Amino acid sequence: MWYVILFASCTALIFRVFPFAFHRSALLNSKDSKFYRVLNYSCQAMMGCIVFDSSFGQQDIVTWARDFRGFQLLELTLLILCFFWVVYTKRLLSGLLLFMGLYAIGIWALG
């Protein structure tokens, strides 16, 4: 988990510094360029990686399916609902906070 957080912080720093270092570059001034799109999606990718690692840990799909319990059903359901929430509303942080709150309530309710 610490490697994911370290990677996320380093890439966030790099992606925040690039626009200042290359502010006159055509890569950053054109919103249709692939590089510009990569910079826009880097935050979502890092957040998704942290959420995935927090939810599923070091388990592979076989181990996760074999040990499937109520908590895993709750996690999977909330992740899918959060995905559709973010796609529909286009608000990443509010979806993350809302479904983290629902996850906490679900854990409290399940035991």
Give the Cα separation of 42 and 16 in Å (integer).
10
Widest pairwise Cα distance in the chain: 55
Q: What is the pLDDT of residues 58-71, one digit of tens each?
A: 777 788 788 888 78
Q: pTM surpassing 0.95?
A: no
Q: What share of the chain is helix, strand, coil (3-state, %, to 5)?
A: 85, 0, 15
73 vs 87: CA distance, rounded Å:
21
- Average pLDDT on 102-110 reads 87
Residue 88 predicted with pLDDT over 80: yes
If pLDDT is split at 50, 70 and 90, which confidence band does 105 have?
Answer: very high
pLDDT of res. 92? 78
pLDDT score at 28: 62
